[in-house]
Amino acid sequence: MGRGRRELEKQTKKNTRMSAEEIAKKKKVMIRTGMTILVLFVLFMIAMIANNYIILGKNKTTNLVINNNNVTTDLRNDIIQEEGIIYLSEDDIANFFDKHIYLEEENNKIITTYNKKIAEVSLEENTININGADKTTSAHAIEKDGILYIPISEMTEVYDIEIENLEDTKVITMDSLDKEQKKAIVTSNLAVKSSTRFISKTIDRIEKGDSVVIISSNGKYARIRTKNGKIGYIKANKLANEYLVREDMAEEKQVEGKINMTWDYYSEVANAPDRTGTTIEGVNVVSPSFFYIDGNGIFRENVGQSGKAYVNWAHENGYKVWPMVSNAPAANESLEITSEIMNSYENRKQLIESIVDACVTYDLDGINIDFENMKQEDKDVYSRFIIELTPRLNEIGMVVSVDVTAPDGGETWSMCFDRNVIGDVADYIIFMAYDQNGVSSTTAGTTAGYNWIELNLVKFLQTEEIDADKLILGIPFYTRIWTEDVDGNVIRTTPVYMEDINDILPSNVQKQWDDDLKQYYVEYQDGNNTRKMWIEDVESLKAKVSLVEKNNLAGVASWQYGMETEDVWTMLQEELVR
C-alpha cells in the first residue's frame, strides 16, 4: 500500500510539471501572436495615415513641368517672374528647347530656332522678329548678374507651347502643342500618390468630376497630372470619359521609302536641260543646278523658261525638285566670298530670304546646299547658316539637304563642316562618297572604294552621331584614269564617265577584281607611261548601295545624271525597294 501511494504521488508531480511546461509554451505562442498582431496594426495605421492624413507635398520654390515631366532639378538658373512675365535663362532655353540659341553681337539680339520658327529677341525693345515678321511684345530679353534671360511667356508662338502659371501651388506648366494630350474625368474623391507602392506620399487630392491629364496607364494604375500641376498616381479604374485634347503632330516625310536622288548639273552659262519625254527609272528626287553665288557674293538664279519647263516635267513624272545652291562658279573665289557671307548675320539672313523667295517663285519642293571650299574657322558660322535656313524653308514645306565630304580630309575640303550640327538640323545630310582620290591627289587610286565608304559611314553614324534615316549616300557615275611616268609619278588624271569607260579601255585589257574596294582594276602601258583605272560599273555601285540597307540609310544621291550606263537605274530601283 505504501509503495503504491508513493508511485501515485510521483506520477502526480510529473503530470504537474508537464502542465507547467505546456503553459510556458502556450504563453510564448501567445506573445508572438500578440506581437504579430501589433505589428500588423501599426502597419495598417501607417497605411491609413499615408493614404489619408499625410500633409500634401508643398513647393518651396517654383516648379517647372514641361510635357508632364517635372524638370525643376534640371534648371541651371532660377525662374524669374516680373510683372506677369516668365523668364527662363538662355542656358535653360538651350537645355529644354533650342540648344543652338545664341547672342548675335552684330545686332545685339538673341537668335533662337525651333522646328519651323527662327526668332530674333531684342535686349532693348519689346519686339520679336519671327520668320521675318516683327511682333510687338510686353517684354524683351534681360540680363541679370551676367546671365541672359528670355521672356518665354512671350514666345509661345516660337516654341509652339502653351504655358499655365499655377501661382497657388507654385507650378508652371509648359505643353508642346504638337504632342498628344489626353484627359479624363475622376469618378470619386481621391488621394494622388507619389508612387504605386503600398506606402507612398500623398502629393495632391482630387475630387469627383475633376479633369486630369493622363500621362500613362498600365491598366491598374494611371500616371496623371492634376489641375494643380502635380504629377502622381491613382487607380486606373477611377477614371472615366477619356478624351483626346490633341493628337501628335508627326511630320510626314515628303518622299515615301528610300530617297533616289540624282544631280542634274548644268553650268551657270547654260540653260536648264530639256527633259521632255524622258523618264528616269526609280528616281524620286532631281536636283538641277538652278542657283549659285557669283563672284560678288550675290545670289543668282539660272532658271528661266527652260528651268520652269524642267520643274513642270519633274512634277508631271512624280519627281520632287530640290535644286542645288552652289557657293562658287569659280572655286578659287569661293573661300573669301563664302566667308564674308557666313560671318555676318545680316548677310546670312539676306541669302536665306533670297532662297525662300526662289523656292516659292518656282514651286520647288526643297533645296540642296552644296557649299564647298570653305575656311575651317568658318565651320560654326556655316552651321549657323543651316540652323537659320532650315526653319524658314520647313515653314513653307520645303526640304533642306546639305552636301558634306568625308570627315577625313583637308581644312577647306573636310574640316570646314560640323557634321553633327548639320545632321541634327537639316532634313538630310548627303555624304559625297567620292573623290577619295581626286584631282589634286599625287597618288593614283580609286574614286570611291567600298572599304573607304564603309569606314566613313561608321564615322558619320557613330562618331558624328548622325541619325541613319537622315543620311543619304552620294555615289559617283564616273571614275578617273591615271597616267604615271616611268618613275611612278602621277602626271595626269582625267575624269571618265561610266558610259565611256569601255570606249576608252583597250579591248585586250585584263580586269582584276579587288574585293576590298568591290570594283575592277585595270592597268596597261601607253608608250613609256602607265595608265591605271579603278572601274565604276553596275557591280561596284551595287556594292556601295548595299550599305544603304545594311546601315538603314535614307537613300542615295548620284553624281551626275547623264554619266551613267542605262542598267544603273534598274539596279538602283531593285536595291532601294528591298
Query: Over the stretch 459-501, which tens digit does the pLDDT of each residue have?
Result: 999 999 999 999 999 999 999 999 999 999 999 999 999 999 9
Whole-structure pTM value: 0.89
Cα–Cα distance measured from residue 455 to residue 551, given in angstroms and rounded to the nearest whole number: 12
Cα–Cα distance measured from residue 139 to residue 132, given in angstroms and rounded to the nearest whole number: 19
Q: Are 254 and 365 in contact (CB under 8 A)?
A: yes
pLDDT of residue 250: 80
Does residue 367 register a pLDDT over 90?
yes
* Residue 560 preceded by cis peptide, ω within 30: yes
Cα–Cα distance measured from residue 191 to residue 240, given in angstroms and rounded to the nearest whole number: 17
pLDDT-based confidence at residue 578 (cuts at 50, 70, 90): confident
Q: Are 245 and 181 in contact (CB under 8 A)?
A: yes
pLDDT-based confidence at residue 379 (cuts at 50, 70, 90): very high
Which H or E run includes 247?
A: none
pLDDT of residue 23: 61
Q: Are 564 and 558 in contact (CB under 8 A)?
A: yes
pLDDT of residue 161: 98
One-character DSSP codes across 264-306: E---TTSPPP--TT---TT--EEEE--EEE-TTS-EEE--HHH
What average pLDDT does range 449-455 have in this prediction? 98
Q: What percent of the chain is predicted at pLDDT more than 70?
A: 89
pLDDT of residue 30: 65
What are the b/e assignments for 326-350, b being 16+ CB within 10 Å? bbbbeeebbbebbbebbbebeebbe
Radius of gyration of the chain (CA): 36
- Please report how many Cα atoms fall inside a 13 Å half-sphere around the Cα of residue 292, on the Cβ side: 21
Q: What percent of the chain is predicted at pLDDT more than 90?
A: 85
Instruction: Write the Ramachandran bin of 307: left for phi over 0, alpha for psi from -120 to 50, otherwise beta.
Output: alpha
Cα–Cα distance measured from residue 408 to residue 455, given in angstroms and rounded to the nearest whole number: 10
pLDDT-based confidence at residue 328 (cuts at 50, 70, 90): confident
pLDDT of residue 516: 98
β-strands 85-89, 80-82: how paired? antiparallel
Q: Are 102 and 380 in contact (CB under 8 A)?
A: no
Q: Are 578 and 542 in contact (CB under 8 A)?
A: no
Cα–Cα distance measured from residue 186 to residue 234, given in angstroms and rounded to the nearest whole number: 10
pLDDT-based confidence at residue 165 (cuts at 50, 70, 90): very high
Smallest Cα–Cα separation from 46: which of 251, 202, 166?
Answer: 202
Q: What are phi and psi of 252, to 5 degrees?
A: -85, 135
DSSP state of 470: G
- Between residues 505 and 32, the one the model is more confident about: 505
Q: At 210, list the grid cell.
A: 475633376
pLDDT of residue 31: 66
- Domains parsed from the chain with CATH numbers: 63-163 (3.30.457.10), 180-246 (2.30.30.40), 259-477+537-576 (3.20.20.80)
3-state helix, strand, coil in the chain (%, to 5): 35, 30, 35
pLDDT of residue 521: 98
Does residue 52 register a pLDDT over 50?
no
